[in-house]
Every structure is written in structure tokens, then in C-alpha cells.
Amino acid sequence: FGKWVTGDPLKGSLDEFRILKGRALSPDEIAEIYRMGANHHLTRQVSSVDLSAQTKLPFWIAADRTGTFLEAMIGESDFANYELASSTLALSTTTVLYIKGDEIASSTSIKDSSFSGKAITANGNARTAGGGKIGNSLYFDGTGDYLTIANSADWNFTGADFTVDYWVRFNDLPAARGLVATYDGTDGWQIYQDDSVQNRGVGIYDGGPTLWTAWTPALNTWYHMALVRSGLTLTWYINGVSIGSPTNTDLNNDSNSLVAGAYQTNGTGSLNGWLDELRILKGVALTPDQIRQAYEYGLRSHPITIDFGATLQPSDLISSATDYSFSLTATTSGLSATTSGLYLGDKIIIKENLGGTEYAAQGTVNAINTSTGAITVPSWDSGSTFPSGNGYSPHRLFGRLPLQHQLPHRLVFFRHHFLQQPLSPIPDNFHLHRHLRFSVPLGVINALHRAG
């Protein structure tokens, strides 16, 4: 490794070296390996906790590198928090299409994150792009770019409640630009934006007169749009606020495919701009509060900073489960001193992968020598594991789960972390998004996302 038979050796670094024999990785798999899990979710539940009387929300996070690469969010439902399909989430089973656009930028392999996992075809130069409203997004250049999803009964809204919502950012606004449609030039329905003088607004067409609702967006600005039918009432919401209720219509897809980013199934009227978090829910009319919460994502998200990371000093390692004194240095993580960011009472975590086995130990710091980096813990927590033989090696990374700490009106990662109010009324879900996320639907932690 790092040298060919007779040539010069490599001057640099190798990491995560793998050889797979008998299996060729797909382009999607290669792309996912490259982005190292960015915007991915892990889901778990904990017991319910009543937070209704609380003004602060404590939480703990450890990471193996420092920096600001996380985002936390408070919300009241899986819909408001843009959760992926999960049998534990109430709205997942009614979500028949969910295009997040979070694949690696410039990807044309775009996935449906709903339970149905419908196949999506990118036409023209339709692709994902960075700078979305949440993670990456879909991008269309206005010259024949659109996505196609095959005909499905899910696109026939005749007699059914439904919700279509998405974020959109227009790069230009000439005449009609398509958003979502099943119209083939004769039959089907279409939702589109028209900025012509005679029809300035958002339109719905289903074979009869176009149903116009006045609205004039600005260029290069993200808008949350939602079309909801409850019973016989259609309602348009822009940025969480109703802008009108057009006359009800069936919206029958007439066995046509669905397109995103155009108003006709052949790509006519393609969008010049970005779409993000496109969702279709059939059989459910979301409430005004749920729509408002989905829009308020940007108002309820907070950047997170991990401020500590370190490695063991070779001269003072952890030799066994009964070794409670060791030395570390945080300068290997780019911090200014040996113990930068570590405080008495912090929960420190050491991890190592040895021969394919993951070892982890944690304990509460009760002594710190800021000059030498010497640390002691009174004991190792139950469940801690240690490599046999020489214990942990010098280059093991440290994280810490901090002790309780109040930070008024902001959310950060120092010691223990608090999201402090206003939390009135207390939301149901707590989220970390982008590279790490979790949710707490009144005590249910719903996701941990981590990426490189």
C-alpha cells in the first residue's frame, strides 16, 4: 500500500481502503460513498416525556470531529420536520411521493423517499444542485428539464382529500412555468405559475377554465407552496398563509404520468429555477397549522457547533477497564490547547475500531490538568468496552457529552446543550438536520443523521 513495485512511494494519505471482489458498485453507491451519508437519517424512539411546562429543552450530542456541520429544528409533526418514510410516523403512509433532491449535487439519479419508492426519470438537464432550502434541491434550467414519474392511481385526486407541497425558487418569470402536472395536452391536470399581465398568479387546470389565484413572487427567493383539498374546498398556501380558495375541481390524471418542473408531460413549460422537498399526500388534507409549521422550517432551524475533539497522548494511554487516568491533546483536532473545550463534569467518549470491532468507553471527567492534558474519570460507565491487550491506541478520537449548561435564546454545542425559549407552546418534535439530526415528538427521538 502506498508504493508500487519499483517506483516512488506515495506522499500523502490513504483512508477507507476497500476491495470488493465479485460485485460492481453502482453509480448511485459510488455517489453515496463520496458524500459519506450527508442528509441521511437514523430513527429511534425513547419513552414519552411531557415538555409542556418547560421553557428549556436539554439534549446531548457527541461527534468525532469539531466544527459547525449540524442543524437542529423544533417541530410538531413528521410533516413539519420533513421526515422520511417511517412506520412510526403518522403521515408517512399517506405520502405517495416525496422528492427531497438530497442526492450528491449534479446527480441525475433522483429518488422517491416515500414508502412507494417510485422510479423517477430525469429529462433534459434536470439534476440535483447545492443550495437547496433543506440540503440539496432539484434544478431545472427552463429548456426542457423535467422529472417524470409513471402513471399511478396516486395522481388521481377525484373525490379525495389531498395535499401537494414544495419549496420553489424562480430564476425567471416569463409566461407559464410548470411546477407539477399530469397534463398531456388533452387530459390530466397541471399546477403552474404564470407571470403574464393577464394571468399573474398560480393556476390549476383540469380540462375546464384555469383556476387562478393572484400571487406575484420575487426572483431568487424561496417560497413554500401548498395546495390542499379538504372535502369540497381547495386552498392555496404561500409561506404558511392562505392566499385564496379556487373553485373545487376533480384533478383526475386520466392515466397520465406525473411530471415535476413542467406543466405538460412532454416537458412543455419547463421551470427555470429550483424545487425542493416535493411531497404529495393522498387522502389527507393537512391543517393550516401543519402547513404553517412546514413553512417555518427556516425559522425553527439552528446551527450547531461541536467544540471538542482530541486524541490520546502516546505516553499516557488507557491500558484497561481499570485505568481511569490518561492524557489527551485537542490540538490534533485543530483546537488551540491540549484540553480546549473540555470541562469538569463533561461525559467523555473514546472510540476505536480494531480488526472490524468497534470499542467505545465513556466516563465523567472529574479532574483536568490543562497544562499536560492529564484527565481522570472516577470510573467507566456501564457498557464501556476495551480492546484486549494494550487497550486504546494513541490516535483514538474523543467526543464528549457535556454537562447541563444554559444558553439563552440560541442553540449551540458547548458542554450540555439547551434550546431555550421561547418554546411556547412546546412543539412535539426536536430535530437535528443535515449531517446530524434527531427528533423528539414529545419525547420521541426520531433521527440521528451524520455525514462527513
Question: What CATH number is associated with residue 122?
Answer: 2.60.120.200
Indicate whether 45 belongs to any domain: no
* Dist CA 39 CA 102 (whole Å): 7
Average pLDDT of the residues in 208-215: 86
Asked if residue 233 and residue 267 are part of one domain, the reply reads yes
Measured between alpha carbons, how far is residue 427 from residues 33, 39, 67, 212 in Å? 35, 22, 27, 35
Q: Which three cell numbers stand for residue 220?
A: 431568487
**H or E element at residue 29:** helix 27-35
Asked if residue 214 and residue 358 are part of one domain, the reply reads no
Per residue in 142-166, pLDDT (tens digit) is: 999 999 999 999 999 999 999 999 9
Indicate whether 394 belongs to any domain: yes
Q: Domain range for residue 279?
A: 92-285
- For the whole prediction, is pTM greater than 0.75? no
Q: Which three cell numbers stand for residue 70?
A: 449540524
Per residue in 279-296, pLDDT (tens digit) is: 999 999 999 999 998 998
The SS3 call for residue 39 is coil
Q: How many separate domains does the chain show?
A: 2
Indicate whether 430 belongs to any domain: no
The b-or-e profile of 304-322 (16+ CB within 10 A means b, else e) is bebbbbbbbbeebbbeeee
More confident site: 377 or 400: 377
* Dist CA 18 CA 412 (whole Å): 36
pLDDT score at 175: 74
* Dist CA 232 CA 161 (whole Å): 9
Quote the percentage of the chain above a pLDDT of 90. 44
Indicate whether 160 belongs to any domain: yes
Asked if residue 339 and residue 219 are part of one domain, the reply reads no
- Tracing cell 424512539 back to the chain, one arrives at 45
Q: Which three cell numbers stand for residue 268?
A: 412543455
Asked if residue 358 and residue 222 are part of one domain, the reply reads no
Asked if residue 251 and residue 111 are part of one domain, the reply reads yes
Does 256 score more than 70 pLDDT? Answer: yes
Indicate whether 83 belongs to any domain: no
Asked if residue 318 and residue 280 are part of one domain, the reply reads no
pLDDT score at 257: 97
Indicate whether 442 belongs to any domain: no
Asked if residue 170 and residue 216 are part of one domain, the reply reads yes
Indicate whether 338 belongs to any domain: yes
Non-local CB neighbours of 9 within 8 Å, separated by 6+ positions: 2, 3
Average pLDDT of the chain, as a whole number: 80
Indicate whether 444 belongs to any domain: no
Asked if residue 184 and residue 318 are part of one domain, the reply reads no
pLDDT score at 206: 87
Q: How far is residue 289 CA from its own chain's centroid?
A: 21
Asked if residue 249 and residue 150 are part of one domain, the reply reads yes
Asked if residue 333 and residue 387 are part of one domain, the reply reads yes
Per residue in 332-389, pLDDT (tens digit) is: 888 999 999 899 988 888 888 887 888 989 999 999 999 999 999 999 999 999 988 7
Asked if residue 202 and residue 317 are part of one domain, the reply reads no
Asked if residue 362 and residue 230 are part of one domain, the reply reads no
401, 421, 437 - which closes a domain: 401
* Dist CA 441 CA 91 (whole Å): 13
